[in-house]
Amino acid sequence: MNNKRTVLVVEDDSGISNFINTILMSNGYNVIRAKSGADAVMMITSHCPDLVILDLGLPDMDGSTIIKFMRGWSHIPIIVVSARTHEKDKVGALDQGADDYITKPFGSAELLARIRTALRHAEYRDAAFDMPATGVFQSGYLVVDYNKRHVYINNVDARLTQNEYKIVALLSRYAGRVLTYDHIIKVVWGPNFSGDNQILRVNMANIRRKIEKNPADPQYIFTEMGVGYRMAEGG
């Protein structure tokens, strides 16, 4: 069983990327790497890393675009590593949702300390999010009762299985935001689940059959093709 943390390094300078890779690998981290923004987006959605180290000056897009993309659905820690030293660049990245900002050049000890801090903060935050929700969520005729752990449609129990309930409850807690396939699988089936997305698709088909008037044209849970699912906002 591999419990190493996975870090995505988004850096187009091969020298810096190799330097960071060496530091992380020698300190027990799994490392995946991207040289462009497009590659980074693909890896973030497919691998769901534990932390992202992000250069702002990428060849195809500004790193701030990736920060905005991630913060639309994820709390994965982001540490910006950039040659930009102006205060407005730092403030801008942090305001957009980056967890930390390191200017180049930097030392290995500083980088590792920042990573440990970001991961520790993420653990505290995730622990808070994982606390059992209470009360109800309602969107149209759909009601998720967190206390009873049941989902109702038109006041009738949808009779979801345990995993189906977990999926709907998770999506409802982040209503309006896209959750990736990998993120949902990690939460529902555990971080060491080794299967593909098929098990999630099968569960989602069953959920829609139970809660949607027309599963082919859903009102409550929408598919973001190639990325994940989004629950309709409450109200």
Percentage, residues of the chain above pLDDT 70: 92
Q: Per-residue pLDDT for 230 more than 70?
A: yes
pLDDT in tens, 104-118: 999 999 999 999 998
**Residue 191 pLDDT class (50, 70, 90 cuts):** low
pLDDT above 70 for 3: no
Strand order from edge to edge, sheet including 228-231: 178-180, 228-231, 221-224
Domains in the chain: boundaries: 6-129, 136-231
Write down the pLDDT at residue 1: 36
Give 192's DSSP letter. Answer: T
In this predicted structure, what is the pLDDT of residue 73?
A: 73
Quick check: 207 pLDDT over 50? yes
Does the pLDDT at position 129 exceed 70? no
Q: What is the pTM of this model?
A: 0.60
37 pLDDT higher than 90: yes
Query: In the predicted model, is pLDDT for residue 190 greater than 90?
Result: no
CATH number of 136-231: 1.10.10.10
Residues in contact with 119: Cβ distance below 8 Å, sequence separation at least 6, in sequence order: 5, 50, 51, 77
Average pLDDT score over residue span 199-212? 94
Band of the pLDDT at 122, cuts 50, 70, 90? confident
Q: What would you measure as the largest C-alpha separation in the chain, in angstroms? A: 60
Which CATH architecture is the domain 6-129 placed in?
A: 3-Layer(aba) Sandwich (3.40)
